[in-house]
Amino acid sequence: MGPSFPDTCFLCLTSVLHSTMALQVPEAPWTAAVTTALLVLSNTVAQSGTLPENYLYQLQGECYLSNETLRFVARHIYNCEEFLRFDSDVGEFQAMTELGQRTAERFNSQKEILEEARSSVDTRCKYYYEKAGPVLLKYQVQPKVHVFLAKKVTLQHHNQLICHVTNFYPGNVEVRWFLNGQEQTAGIESTNLIHNGDLTFQMLVMLEMTPQQGDVYTCHVEHPSLDSPVTVEWRAQSDSARNKKLTGVSGFVLGLIFLAVSIVMHVRSKKGQRGSR
């Protein structure tokens, strides 16, 4: 079974702090974000002894709806790596890396910060859901699907086939791989849902494979916006077979060009004969 995302994410807000910005404490509810950033930087200083010249800190708040239940997730990301997370289903801050351990312990020990995070389901998710949730939940965008090889190699060599599913909303999508009509369950890896910044998502689902001549791989995508699944095939062909195919296509195109030129010359000739009369 391929990756599936049953929850519907109807809100995603991101706050960013990077090394070229002046450090300013934002208004609530993002006050804890700057505190976290400072703690991260102090941890980095303690480990390396120097303040990093370039850094990127992000706080990403997400609201999900599943079985009529709201869920709030706050992801704290430092230099593109999530180090700290608050999940309302868990009820406390969780360290995702060693860097977030100290911050998680401090936040969980501070009643005010912990209560603010726990109340986010009502103060943020419930508020936005009542305002815009019903409209967003009806909003759907059909996914675009592309299949390609990770690297160009000959047949019978190990490779990775990538199914790129992009520009879809909502985020609950199911992607499966088939080889000659048989579903593949081993050797499959996938990215998490990636936010495009315009409500839509994208993701990559990779299949480890060793293509043989004539093999047909199929990426099978199911999404609420689709009346039927989208399937995109990739056929294993040798270089010689591919070159013959390209030669045939090129010959066909050239034939059409010569035919078009002949028709144009014939028409002009007829017009010239009429004009001379």
Report which listed range, 39-43, 187-191, 237-241, 271-275, is most confident: 187-191
Query: Which range marks the domain in which residue 74 is found?
Result: 8-138
Tens of pLDDT, residues 90-138:
999 999 999 889 889 989 998 988 999 999 999 888 888 887 767 776 7
Give the count of domains, the chain. Answer: 2
Nearest-angstrom CA–CA distance, 147 and 237: 15
CATH classification of the domain holding 52: 3.10.320.10
Does one domain contain both 102 and 31?
Answer: yes
Nearest-angstrom CA–CA distance, 190 and 179: 18
Does one domain contain both 190 and 120?
Answer: no
pLDDT score recorded for residue 25: 39
Inside any domain, residue 259: no
Inside any domain, residue 108: yes
Read off the tokens for 22. Answer: 């002046």
Domain final residue, candidates 138, 164, 199: 138
CA dist 87 → 83, 121, 144, 181, 186 (Å): 13, 10, 30, 39, 30
Beta strands at 159-168 and 174-179: parallel, antiparallel or unpaired: unpaired
The CB-side HSE value for 222 (13 A sphere, CA atoms) comes to 9
DSSP 167-224: EEBSS--EEEEEETTEEE-SSEEEPPPEE-SSS-EEEEEEEEE---TT-EEEEEEE-T
pTM exceeding the 0.85 threshold for the entire prediction: no
15 versus 164: which is more confidently predicted? Answer: 164
- Type of residue numbered 101: Q
Average confidence (pLDDT) over 61-88: 87
Q: Residue 34: pLDDT band by 50, 70, 90 thresholds?
A: low
Does one domain contain both 37 and 156?
Answer: no
> In terms of Cα–Cα distance, which of 165, 274, 180 is closest to 234?
180
Does one domain contain both 133 and 218?
Answer: no
